[in-house]
């Protein structure tokens, strides 16, 4: 596989999750989970409903704090940082239940995603100083390019809430890419898509990786998609990591089969 | 015409001051934060003006304009500091809790001003000198202030900072995931609103000639909240229009009360019932115009209509 070559040349993991645990009262949503994600890997996170996948995403992006354990991004400890600081470290995400800025246009949504890369503040922006104006223009230009990349070029000025479900998912990806992340987290990007669209999405995600040198972690329920797309897969069940490895290994793992199919 | 302006000068100036306070409430609302602290800063600004002009620089005759500017700057500075000190802890609260905390802030200031010697206690401060020969000349300060605030708000909607405000209003969590520091922008919006309220207070104190603890109270919070909610919470034109409308409304009611041969209860209602009317309007407004009277769509439709109209005119010419 192409990716194993990259792994050998670059040993430093992009993301290290170490013994991470999150309790909600008596419920252990994520239980001592550890794994590494390598540079430019497409890493799948699967598991039955309530296995703790989205909680793990929320832990990585700082939306919730871990009860114990640590997370490192490119060797820097990030598990104590706030979400906006983690975003500044180059980690962007989409949400399972789409969280676009509904009243803003598609273009404005992605411009908001350019926040960290736009050199304009209250004073320079209000006064319209050349440097700030230039930065605002660049943000708009870059946002347009990203929207065209996800195929919404003709819906630039449409309010996000008026877009179709599939278009909203694509817009969320464009908004996340606007951060110029090195790690992109996709929470069920194929939800609600038909098999044909899923195939297109699969190719699209692979293209994203090579175009932007991205490391991608994705949560997905559709097993064939995950198996075909991911370099490695982690399987969660009741908050615990029960399997980790290449798709063909994970697929035949007895623990995984038990979690998905149940056992008498 | 000039006479008409002079007759209505007090109303015009109050309406513009109302618009300024509407804007000061709208600024934190841009980030989705319902803060009712504006009247508190307005009161502080008023006391700055009252104390400066009667105790520190007492003048006979016309109050010099540069001292008025100095007062405005001092009020802006104090409002900034107070805005930061209050805003940073209080903006950790959300929704109704934030509203309650800001009401408490306004109450604390009111109790202070009632009991401090420097603020004149319950009597307040009298005989604040006039910087202008006639009331209409107050336009020289309130109009530029309104224009500058409008330009700032107009620009804000098109730049990074304003977009961060709106992103936080739309979805704070998603905004944070985009690298926006919500606390930073909430405090910025809150402080900007505080500065505007403080500076408006300075002008209002001179304009009203007297300042006491009845200025900038919870009642005022509700009145300006009504004006912003009814005017519109999605564009800056809403609070300006709302602020003007609701400053004029009590005056209109008062003149209605002067109509001869009205039943006594109606006269009483017109004279003292304005808070009841504001309450009813808040309920009706939020039910039927959740975004207020001036909405962004209204703007878009209006500009569309204008374009269609212009095209028709052009076609006719051809």
Q: Which residues pair with A33 in a beta bridge?
A: A20
Per-residue pLDDT, B44: 96
Q: Which residues of A touch B155 (CB under 8 A)?
A: 125-126, 128
Asked if residue A5 has pLDDT above 60, the reply is: no
Asked if residue A7 has pLDDT above 50, the reply is: no
CB contact at 8 A, B222 and B275: yes
Check A84 against B179: CB less than 8 A apart: yes
| Residue B286 pLDDT level (bands cut at 50, 70, 90) | confident
Instruction: Encode pLDDT of A150-207 as tens digits.
Output: 999 999 999 999 999 989 999 999 999 999 999 999 999 988 888 888 899 999 999 9
The reply to whether B188 touches chain A by the CB within 8 Å rule is: yes
For A186, residues 6+ apart whose C-beta sits below 8 A from its C-beta are A93, A94, A173, A205, A216, A217, A218, A219
Q: Are strands A232-237 and A240-245 parallel, antiparallel or unpaired?
A: antiparallel
Instruction: Encode pLDDT of B75-133 as tens digits.
Output: 999 999 999 999 999 998 888 899 999 999 999 999 999 999 999 888 999 999 999 98
Residue of A nearest to B181 (CA): A84
Query: Which tokens is B270 given?
Result: 């017109």
Per-residue pLDDT, B86: 95
Q: Which long-range contacts (CB under 8 A, 24 or more apart) does B105-111 make?
A: B105/B37, B105/B40, B106/B36, B106/B37, B106/B39, B106/B40, B106/B43, B106/B216, B106/B217, B106/B218, B106/B221, B107/B218, B109/B40, B109/B43, B109/B44, B109/B216, B110/B40, B110/B43, B110/B213, B110/B216, B110/B217
Q: Which residues of A touch B156 (CB under 8 A)?
A: 125-126
Per-residue pLDDT, A2: 47
* ipTM confidence score: 0.90
CB contact at 8 A, A88 and B162: no
Cα–Cα distances in Å, from B191 out to A178, B76, B87?
29, 10, 7
Q: In B160-193, which positions are buried (b, 16+ CB within 10 angstroms) versus exposed (e)?
A: bbbbbbbbbbbbbebbbbbbbbbeebbbbbbbbb
Share of chain B above pLDDT 90, in %: 56
Q: Which residues of B touch A123 (CB under 8 A)?
A: none
Rounded CA gap, B219 and B228, in Å? 14
The reply to whether B160 touches chain A by the CB within 8 Å rule is: yes
Q: Which residues of A touch B177 (CB under 8 A)?
A: 61, 63, 83-84, 87, 92-93, 95, 99
Check B160 against A135: CB less than 8 A apart: yes
pTM comes to 0.90
Topology at the third CATH level for domain B2-317? ABC transporter involved in vitamin B12 uptake, BtuC (1.10.3470)
The length of chain A is 264
Domains defined along chain A, listed by start = 1-90+181-264 (3.40.50.300), 103-179 (no CATH)
Cα–Cα distances in Å, from A17 out to A47, A118, A181, B50, B237?
17, 31, 18, 61, 49
**Distance (Å) from the alpha carbon of B59 to chain A's nearest alpha carbon:** 36
Check A101 against B174: CB less than 8 A apart: yes
Per-residue pLDDT, A4: 46
Check B159 against A120: CB less than 8 A apart: yes
Residue of A nearest to B179 (CA): A84
**Distance (Å) from the alpha carbon of B81 to chain A's nearest alpha carbon:** 18
* Mean pLDDT score across all residues of chain B: 89
Instruction: Encode pLDDT of B140-186 as tens digits.
Output: 999 999 999 999 999 998 899 999 999 999 999 999 999 999 999 99
List residues of A whose CB lies inside 8 A of any B CB: 61, 63, 82-84, 87-88, 92-93, 95, 99-104, 108, 111-116, 118, 120-122, 125-126, 128, 132, 135-136, 139, 175, 178-179
């Amino acid at each position: 596989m192409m990716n194993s070559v990259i792994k050998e040349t670059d040993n430093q993991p992009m993301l290290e999750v170490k013994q991470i645990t999150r309790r909600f009262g008596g419920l252990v949503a994520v239980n001592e989970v550890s794994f590494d994600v390598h540079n430019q890997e497409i890493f799948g996170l699967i598991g039955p409903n309530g296995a703790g996948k989205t909680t793990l995403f929320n832990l990585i992006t700082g939306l919730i704090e871990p009860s114990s354990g640590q997370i490192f991004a490119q060797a820097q400890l990030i598990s104590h940082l706030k979400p906006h600081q983690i975003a500044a470290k180059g980690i962007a995400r989409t949400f399972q239940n789409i969280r676009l800025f509904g009243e803003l246009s598609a273009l404005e949504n992605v411009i908001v995603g350019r926040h960290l890369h736009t050199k304009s503040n209250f004073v320079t922006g209000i006064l319209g100083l050349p440097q700030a104006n230039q930065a605002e223009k660049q943000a708009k230009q870059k946002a347009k390019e990203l929207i065209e990349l996800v195929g919404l070029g003709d819906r630039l000025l449409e309010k996000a809430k008026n877009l179709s479900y599939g278009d909203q998912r694509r817009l969320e990806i464009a908004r996340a890419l606007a951060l110029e992340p090195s790690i992109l987290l996709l929470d069920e990007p194929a939800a609600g898509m038909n098999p044909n669209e899923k195939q297109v999405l699969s190719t699209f995600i692979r293209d994203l990786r090579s175009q932007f040198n991205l490391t991608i972690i994705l949560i997905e329920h559709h097993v064939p998609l995950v198996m075909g797309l991911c370099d490695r897969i982690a399987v969660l069940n009741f908050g615990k990591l029960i399997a980790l490895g290449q798709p063909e290994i994970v697929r035949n793992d007895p623990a995984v089969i038990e979690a998905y199919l149940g056992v008498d | 015409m000039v006479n008409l302006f002079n007759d209505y000068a007090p109303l015009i100036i109050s309406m513009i001051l109302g618009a300024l306070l509407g804007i000061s409430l709208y600024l934190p609302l841009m980030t989705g934060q319902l803060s009712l602290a504006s009247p508190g800063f307005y009161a502080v600004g008023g006391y700055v003006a009252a104390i400066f002009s009667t105790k520190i620089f007492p003048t006979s005759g016309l109050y010099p304009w540069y001292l008025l500017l100095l007062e405005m700057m001092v009020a802006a500075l104090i409002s900034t500091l107070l805005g930061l000190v209050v805003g940073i802890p209080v903006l950790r609260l959300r929704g109704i809790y934030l509203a309650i905390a800001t009401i408490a802030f306004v109450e604390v200031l009111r109790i202070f001003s009632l009991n401090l010697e420097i603020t004149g206690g319950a009597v307040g401060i009298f005989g604040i000198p006039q910087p202008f020969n006639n009331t209409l000349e107050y336009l020289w300060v309130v109009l530029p202030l309104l224009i500058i605030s409008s330009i700032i708000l107009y620009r804000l909607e098109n730049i990074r900072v304003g977009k961060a405000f709106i992103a936080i209003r739309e979805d704070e969590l998603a905004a944070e995931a985009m690298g926006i520091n919500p606390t930073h922008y909430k405090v910025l919006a809150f402080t900007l609103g505080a500065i505007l309220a403080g500076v408006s207070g300075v002008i209002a104190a001179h304009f009203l000639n007297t300042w006491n603890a009845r200025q900038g109270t919870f009642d005022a919070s509700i009145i300006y909240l009504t004006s912003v909610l009814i005017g519109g919470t999605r564009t800056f034109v809403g609070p300006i229009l709302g602020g003007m409308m609701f400053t004029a409304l009590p005056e209109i009611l008062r003149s209605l009360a002067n109509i001869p041969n009205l039943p006594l209860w109606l006269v009483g209602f017109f004279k003292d019932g304005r808070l009841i009317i504001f309450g009813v309007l808040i309920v009706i407004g939020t039910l039927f115009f959740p975004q207020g009277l001036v909405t962004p769509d209204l703007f878009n439709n209006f500009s569309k209509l204008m374009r269609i109209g212009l095209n028709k005119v052009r076609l006719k010419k051809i």
